[in-house]
Amino acid sequence: MPPVLRIALLQVALLALLLAAWEIAISFKWIAVYLYGRPSGIFAKASILIANGELLRDAALTAWEAIAGFLIGTIAGSAVGLLLWLFPTSAAVLRPYLIALNGLPKIALAPLIIVWFGIGISSKIAIAAIITFIVAVITAQQGAKEVDSDLIKLMRSLGASRWKTWRTVVIPGAMPWIVSAFRLNVGFALIGAVVGEYIASKEGLGYMIYYAGVLYDLNAVWVGIAALMAVALLMYGAIDLLERRLRF
């Protein structure tokens, strides 16, 4: 059996084992169903939400918000972080502000962003974009700093300009850091989209989970969480494909 298939089967078996143990624990009343829900109820709820189209609609909306915010924030942030290598004075001036923004719980910005952009989809994209932008700037800037200084000195000794050194040495050398920012930002983009839906929305997985929680419908909450995990896995899968195509 191919190793990839064997790992996939083991992963499915582990999930099935956990769900079976959960169902058994509920059936024997070892844990309270009103606190944890039960797998059979979750599957039944998922079937209803899929049949009426609500789950797919909400999942598609949240995925679009997260992906759009992720792409805008991560690409723009990576570009800014790399460009700061060309302008060390600007980098030094911006450093304390970037550190402060990085340390700030980004979710604290969500109410302001909703005031600025309104309660529509644009505010959720903006939240995801701003959160991922900050992470991407700092990661790309650090990646540029970590490029082998001997390579930079070699380029300078050959008469290469700072601009050419940046294009031919710094950008390729920082790519592993940028890809790591892509991975980090998958979760941050989803957090931004979901928080925006929590605060001001009538649709999306965030709103679905929030509203189900208010109604104490734990099965629907679990369905929403599982859908978010599926979106995250798809985004991580896309990044894995990108990483395989890149040569560092």
Q: Find the radius of gyration of the CA atoms of the chain.
A: 22
Instruction: Characterize 186-220 residue by residue with b for buried, 16 or more Cβ atoms within 10 angstroms of its Cβ, and e for exposed.
Output: bbbbbbbbbbbbbbbbeebbbbbbbbbeeeebbbb
Average pLDDT, the chain: 89
The average pLDDT across 29-49 equals 90
Q: What pLDDT, on a 0 to 100 scale, did the predictor assign at position 247?
A: 60
**pLDDT, tens digit (0-9, with 9 covering 90-100), for 132-157:** 999 999 999 999 988 888 787 887 88
**pLDDT, tens digit (0-9, with 9 covering 90-100), for 51-63:** 999 999 999 999 9
Q: What pLDDT, on a 0 to 100 scale, did the predictor assign at position 131?
A: 92
Confidence of residue 169 (pLDDT cuts 50, 70, 90): confident
**pLDDT, tens digit (0-9, with 9 covering 90-100), for 213-247:** 998 999 999 999 999 999 999 999 888 888 777 76
Angstrom distance (rounded) from CA 125 to CA 135: 16
As a whole-number percent, the residues of the chain with pLDDT over 70 amount to: 99
Angstrom distance (rounded) from CA 75 to CA 42: 37
Q: What pLDDT, on a 0 to 100 scale, did the predictor assign at position 248?
A: 53
Q: What pLDDT, on a 0 to 100 scale, did the predictor assign at position 126?
A: 94
**Nearest alpha-carbon partner for 41 in 223, 205, 226:** 223
Helix (H) or strand (E) holding 104: none
Predicted TM-score (pTM) of this structure: 0.87
For the cut 90, the answer to whether the pLDDT of residue 209 exceeds it is yes
Domains contained in the chain, CATH given: 43-245 (1.10.3720.10)
Q: Which two tokens stand for residue 18?
A: 């956990």
Give the number of other CB atoms < 10 A from CB of residue 10: 10
For the cut 90, the answer to whether the pLDDT of residue 105 exceeds it is no
